[in-house]
């Protein structure tokens, strides 16, 4: 009996393993599936974490990551790639080389720098390599505010400095930059007595798009960044343009926060 063909776009995540399932490759895989994509994954690091924090990690070697990726890429036609935790310069160089060699498209780089609990996931040498090797290969780079500040080496306090940080990242080779500003915008609006919004800023070339959603005051935020970037990758794989892919991903994450299961003793995972 011949199986019926049901071809799905294949999305590949290259990231760390969160054993609690809220972030990293587990969150990416769940997100890819929610958008009807087939999920593949290469593990860069095994982290020891849960909703309360990150307690350590054991990184893969660059050779291990390369062999994982080659096994997938030799067999599958990958429609989009999302990178998350890339903990060493050697791993970053390996990932960048394979993206270039294989001519891979729809690359979403989430520059994971530090966990919500404050655990550093990448050192300065690796971050410099990430900027140098991967930014120019990415269709979109998706830092949150602290990551954008560390990359651009400026303090972000308002719309003007958000735009400046994006311009600096574009000068490093990033074509499109999404700065996730939910916490900053929520605090600013609360101080002004306004209805709070979670606002993200997308810079496509020299144009800016602003995405607003309800600011949900909750501790259920574990894995939001991973989920947003993997949702963007899934929608690029489905043929959406950058602006539409970001808009769909933003709405998806907002609803996932709203309907979070509230499990664990810390920052609950969201509903993906």
The set of catalytic residues is 180, 221, 223-226
- β-bridge mates for residue 49, sequence order: 54
If you search the block for the tokens 């709405």, which residue do you land on? Answer: 251
Q: Helices in the chain by DSSP H: which ranges?
A: 24-34, 62-73, 89-102, 124-134, 145-152, 159-171, 182-191, 224-237, 242-258
Contact present, 182 and 257 (Cβ < 8 Å): no
Terminal C-alpha separation, the chain: 34
Distance CA 199, CA 179 (A): 9
The encoded tokens of residue 116 equal: 């919500």
Contact present, 202 and 211 (Cβ < 8 Å): yes
DSSP codes joined into one string, 186-241: HHHHHHTTPPPEEEEEEEETTEEEEEEEE----S--BTHHHHHHHHHHHHHHTT--
């Amino acid at each position: 009996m011949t199986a019926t063909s049901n071809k799905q776009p294949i999305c590949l995540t290259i990231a760390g393993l969160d054993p609690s399932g809220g972030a990293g490759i587990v969150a990416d895989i769940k997100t890819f599936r929610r958008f009807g994509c087939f999920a593949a994954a290469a593990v860069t690091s095994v982290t020891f974490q849960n909703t309360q924090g990150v307690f350590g990690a054991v990184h893969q070697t660059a050779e291990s990551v390369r062999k994982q990726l080659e096994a997938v890429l030799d067999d599958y036609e990958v429609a989009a790639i999302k990178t998350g935790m890339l903990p060493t310069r050697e791993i970053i160089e390996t990932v960048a080389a394979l993206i270039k060699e294989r001519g891979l498209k729809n690359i979403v780089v989430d520059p994971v720098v530090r966990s919500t609990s404050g655990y550093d996931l990448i050192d300065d040498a690796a971050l410099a390599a990430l900027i140098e090797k991967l930014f120019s290969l990415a269709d979109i780079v998706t830092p949150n505010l602290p990551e954008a500040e560390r990359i651009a080496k400026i303090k972000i306090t308002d719309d003007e400095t958000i735009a400046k940080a994006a311009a600096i990242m574009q000068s490093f080779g990033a074509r499109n930059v999404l700065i996730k500003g939910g916490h900053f915008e929520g605090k600013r609006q609360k101080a002004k007595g306004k209805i709070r919004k979670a606002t993200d800023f997308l810079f496509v070339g020299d144009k800016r798009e602003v995405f607003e959603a309800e600011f949900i005051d909750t501790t259920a935020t574990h894995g939001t960044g991973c989920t947003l970037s993997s949702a963007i990758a899934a929608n690029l794989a489905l043929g959406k343009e950058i602006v539409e892919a970001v808009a769909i991903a933003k709405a998806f994450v907002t609803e996932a926060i709203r309907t979070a299961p509230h499990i664990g003793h810390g920052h609950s995972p969201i509903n993906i």
